[in-house]
Chain A
Amino acid sequence: MHELIEKVFFGAFDNAVLRRAEDSAVVEQGGTRLAFTVDSYVVSPLFFPGGDIGKLAVCGTVNDLCMVGARPQFLGVSFILEEGLSAEVLRTIAQSAGETAREAAVEIVCGDTKVVGKGAVDQAFVTTCGVGTVPSGVDISASNARPGDKIILSGSLGDHEIAILSAREGLPFSGNVASDCAPLSGAVAALLAEGTPVHALRDPTRGGLASALNEIARLSNVAMEIHESAIPVRPEVAEACEILGFDPLYLANEGKFVAFVSAEHADAALGRLRAVGCAAQAAIIGEVAGHGLPHVTLITSVGGRRIVDVAAGTQLPRIC
């Protein structure tokens, strides 16, 4: 995928903003910094414990804007629908998107709908673009993490991916796992309050926390260390990982972020975060050790050490 982006896309339309590869593009327009992003949502099944594609399509884009410190303001939503999709299903998805947008204090101001033949898409695909403004004094970038920074994770890992998997048939377990899909604007606002220097922010979606941390390590050129025992994982998710042979560090999340905050401000930031619903389990999970030789080291729950690498692809259930 990385190669595809590099060779084909950057090859065709390269520019400095695109190259920065942040969760949203930040462009300057007449003294204001605008954040702009676009994302597509192809989740299957459309409905899962804790959400649906409508909610996801709003949260995902709102969160990408939050990750550059922007206040999300406007969304555009485009639906590609499979012929024969039930009107009831569509109505539910649309309602869900509307409710989530209201909750996130954003307005959906433009949109598009296309209907394509049976089989051309899997029921419904949604693409959402979003725009917001970045307040002055906020300088967040994946290349800004610094030695000494504390790493704050806003909550438990893996809830979304396990919820999706449990909604699909053929899994050898069942339980009470809901996706963590949620807009992060409130939590990020709490983090940034009182002029707290937040250097980097990422939401660990596809590829999980491992990929997000590795990206920051690479772009900021730093080595970091995290503690497995500090990372919140719900018992249901931990068990699902044991059964399927998964590693929670690689599971997708849709309502979490990891923040790099200067050490002196970390405890206060954590306190404010924990008062926000979706970040009640927030924890300091590690720190940036130094410059050079970018990598992520994990101190395991039993006191061992190992490197955490990027994901090599989606995890698949193993017998071995």
Chain B
Amino acid sequence: MITLDKARKVFSQGKPNEFVALHETSLVIEADRLTVIRGPSGSGKTTLLSLIGCMARPTSGRIHVLGREITSLPERFLTEIRRKTFGFIFQQFNLIPGLTALENVILPAYPTGERRSSLERRAAGLFELFNLASKARSRVEWLSGGEAQRVTIARALINDPAVVIADEPTAHLDSKLSREFMDTMGRLRNEGRTVLIASHDPLVYEHPAVERVFHIRDGRIDGDGR
């Protein structure tokens, strides 16, 4: 379970360009559920995901991840939690060009000190799962949009995270690929993972696998659907 207790995020605090990206927000993301945060562009979805995923710290308030208060943790521990607990799927894919799909997938596990051969075995299983076995040794810039998306999902799962976070994952996908993506997310949820997606795409928040939807607007949660 992830809880936000009056979490607030302000950028450029005290400067003329101060901007409140997220007003005091209290929220509970239940474990083993597929939850969507729905809202228009600039509403604060990405900021909320960054706070939950230990990528940024709240300006005030507290955040608990799996029972652990993370707000005051040193950067090193925060990174460890991020690596072990979360798998991220980014809107821009954020794959590193010049590397193969396989190298991109095992990238998050490099610093763990696990043997390369063991990492490759684990990655091979994920490539099989996402029908990408033939693309493992291809450089990522040669992949289609759908293939690149599946590589980012495989990368998100390489450390076997309890929580998968996806930010506008269907922004660059057509309807068919978007539905396939959501089916995959549903499968991950069925495996017992917590899935949290930020999106304003109806194909995402109206998908049958989605169990809960939060509405966000101007940095405030203003509704709780489904």
Co-assembled chains A and B = no
